[in-house]
């Protein structure tokens, strides 16, 4: 693997960026099972070059996921300075729903002290701040926490992965929240006759 202590040579730095971009596209197109060979092909380098930049496939994924987390953290922190707490949270959810990828899953529960975990914690902190502000403004329910939203973003991805150790009760809670979104707004409610109407 190329040492990270010394700055990369010009061609190596270029190839690294090409590889990250190619891997991003390939993972987006074919999911986490995209092969290293295909990624190398797309980047226009040999397969062995991939392993000279990243020790393993997992490490390549970690680099990409780390970038996702970092980008979302930037978005969350920027939205924290906006005027409208409700729009800020809504905008972030929209952004995050598009930004979270399948491979990000792998590192959501990781608790080693890797760089990815650090970036994930940064993101979690920024999201919590967004939610705290929205809660203080009364635009989300009192019991909603930053962790809730952080997990809610990823819940769809979690369910899809058929994660065996996912807490069913937790998902039921999110299920109920989503169902709440289906209820009619107050303005749409027609006056209903009481059950004992003759």
Please say which residue, 16 or 120, places its beta carbon nearer to DNA. 16
φ, ψ for residue 108 (rounded to 5)? -75, -35
Q: Select from 1-9, 39-47, 122-130, 151-159 the region that touches its own copies (CB under 8 A).
A: 151-159
Q: Which of 56, 94, 121, 147 binds its own copies (CB under 8 A)?
A: 94
Please say which residue, 10 or 162, places its beta carbon nearer to its own copies. 162
User: Residue ranges of the alpha helices (H) in the chain?
Assistant: 10-30, 36-43, 47-53, 57-79, 85-99, 115-136, 146-160, 168-180
* 76 touches its own copies (CB under 8 A): no
Other CB atoms closer than 10 Å to residue 88's CB: what's the count?
21
Q: Which of 67, 90, 106, 145 binds its own copies (CB under 8 A)?
A: 90
| Furthest C-alpha separation in the chain | 85
Q: Count the alpha carbons within 13 Å of 34 in the hemisphere toward its beta carbon.
A: 21
State the binding string over 26-65 for DNA (x if CB under 7 A, else -).
Answer: -------xxxxxx------xxxxx-xxx-xxxx-------
Q: Which of 110, 136, 159, 170 binds its own copies (CB under 8 A)?
A: 159
**C-alpha to C-alpha distances, 68 to 9, 27, 75, 103, 105, nearest whole angstrom:** 25, 13, 11, 10, 12
φ, ψ for residue 4 (rounded to 5)? -95, 0
CB of 39 to DNA, least distance (A): 8
Q: What single DSSP character describes residue 196? A: T
Q: Which of 58, 56, 25 has its CA nearest to residue 42?
A: 25
* 22 touches its own copies (CB under 8 A): no
CB of 186 to its own copies, least distance (A): 7
* 103 touches DNA (CB under 7 A): no
Residues lying near DNA in the complex (CB under 7 A): 2-3, 6, 8-12, 15, 33-38, 45-49, 51-53, 55-58
């Amino acid at each position: 693997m190329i040492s990270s202590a010394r700055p990369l040579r010009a061609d190596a730095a270029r190839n690294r960026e090409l590889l990250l971009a190619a891997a991003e596209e390939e993972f987006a197109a074919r999911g986490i099972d995209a092969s290293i060979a295909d990624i190398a092909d797309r980047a226009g380098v040999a397969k062995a070059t991939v392993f000279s930049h990243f020790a393993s496939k997992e490490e390549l994924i970690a680099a990409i996921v780390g970038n996702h987390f970092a980008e979302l953290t930037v978005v969350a922190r920027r939205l924290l300075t906006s005027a409208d707490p409700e729009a800020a949270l809504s905008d972030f959810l929209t952004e995050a729903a598009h930004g979270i990828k399948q491979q990000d899953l792998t590192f959501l529960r990781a608790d080693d002290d890797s760089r990815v975990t650090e970036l994930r914690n940064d993101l979690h902190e920024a999201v919590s701040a967004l939610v705290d502000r929205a809660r203080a403004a009364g635009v989300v329910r009192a019991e909603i926490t930053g962790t809730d939203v952080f997990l809610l973003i990823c819940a769809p991805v979690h369910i899809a992965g058929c994660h065996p150790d996912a807490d069913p009760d937790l998902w039921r809670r999110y299920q109920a929240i989503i169902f709440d979104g289906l209820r009619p707004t107050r303005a749409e409610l027609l006056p209903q006759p009481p059950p004992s109407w003759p």
